[in-house]
Amino acid sequence: MDIRQLGDNIRNFSLDDGDLGSQGYTRVLLQLFGYTGHGKSSFINSCKYVLEEDENLKEHAEARGSDYVLTMVRNAYPLTKVITMVDNRGCSKMNDFERAEVYAQLGNFIPIGQRVEWRDNYKAMMEAIEDSELEQNFSDFIVPIFVYSVRKQKSAEEKQNMKIFMENCRKMTGIVPIIVLTFKSKGDYLEVEKRFRLMGAETVIAIENYTPESHIKTLGRTTDILMVIDSALRNVRFHLEQPRNSKRERIERKKFMFNYIHQIQFQHESEKPESEKPEREKPERERMWVEQILHEMLGGSNCAIS
């Protein structure tokens, strides 16, 4: 497929193209996740740049160096009338608390345009998810995209956390996250790609983002960027060939969230030193409150979450 056909396929994509139609979805939501400073905002600018066929690169999403933490709000950037890219708040480390907030963004339990706070309180996390019912969103077809810079080196623990994150993204959305490796020429991207494939990644695409300092369009750079969007849309087409229920999927994502929060809460409590437990444990009524909400959501069933 040549570059012009790639661009046309993306611009003309419709959720109604399949035999089963849109099945209640009105928008494809390309959800960008990753660590801070790995190039999510620059990737959005690059996608807009290659699709708009403009010779002037515009900074729709503000992007700076890796020492900055800019994205605090879930911001949406339409690529077409049907496709929207979301710049979610990046994390500095993938601990249990940050992963829970990342999953809340992934599941659309934090409205677009709202500031994302890192909470370290399980009850507050549960209440935020309950509050999201005021603005229920069933019509977004979610595709997770994990953005990772090949310049960065992660520890064995962080790599394990990324593997867990990828597995849970698949459980929440039914789609294995697409991996976008940024700063392609600044590191051994083939080795990084190999690591992600060993974690279970199906699609790994290495790119160089366009920036104000490096904005002259090239065939290779533009093709790589378009291939990421095309890969996401091929995932959408594949899944829409099967019967789906958008409302049921949101309920399942909510079950996932409550179960995940429930499990990490009690895991953290069990890891407390015995000498600290009396001072730090929550009142028993809070424990019962969490268990009651979880039981009501799951209808008495169990759902194992890693």
Asked if pLDDT for residue 154 goes beyond 80, the answer is no
pLDDT at 194: 94
Scan for tokens 């699609």, then name that residue: 203
pLDDT at 88: 84
**Nearest partner of 257 among 118, 101, 145, 142, judged by Cα:** 101
pLDDT at 303: 44
Asked if pLDDT for residue 69 goes beyond 50, the answer is no
pLDDT band, residue 64 (cuts 50/70/90): low
In three-state secondary structure terms, 222 is helix
pLDDT in tens, 24-34: 999 999 999 88
Q: Give dist(CA 252, CA 302) in Å, integer.
A: 12
DSSP for 282-306, written as a single string: PPHHHHHHHHHHHHHHHTT------
**Nearest partner of 108 among 84, 79, 140, judged by Cα:** 140
- Neighbouring residues of 154: CB distance < 8 A, sequence distance ≥ 6: 162
For the ranges 61-65, 70-74, 209-213, the one whose mean pLDDT is highest: 209-213
pLDDT in tens, 116-127: 565 666 677 777
Q: 144 — phi, psi (to 5°)?
A: -80, 135
pLDDT band, residue 60 (cuts 50/70/90): confident
- Bridge partners (DSSP) of residue 35 are 91
Asked if pLDDT for residue 239 goes beyond 90, the answer is yes
Average pLDDT value for residue range 195-203:
94
Average pLDDT value for residue range 173-197:
93
Q: Taking a C-beta distance cutoff of 8 angstroms, is the pair 121, 153 a contact? A: no
Asked if pLDDT for residue 106 goes beyond 90, the answer is no
Asked if pLDDT for residue 67 goes beyond 60, the answer is no
DSSP for 183-204, written as a single string: -GGGTTHHHHHHHHHHTT-S-E
In three-state secondary structure terms, 152 is coil
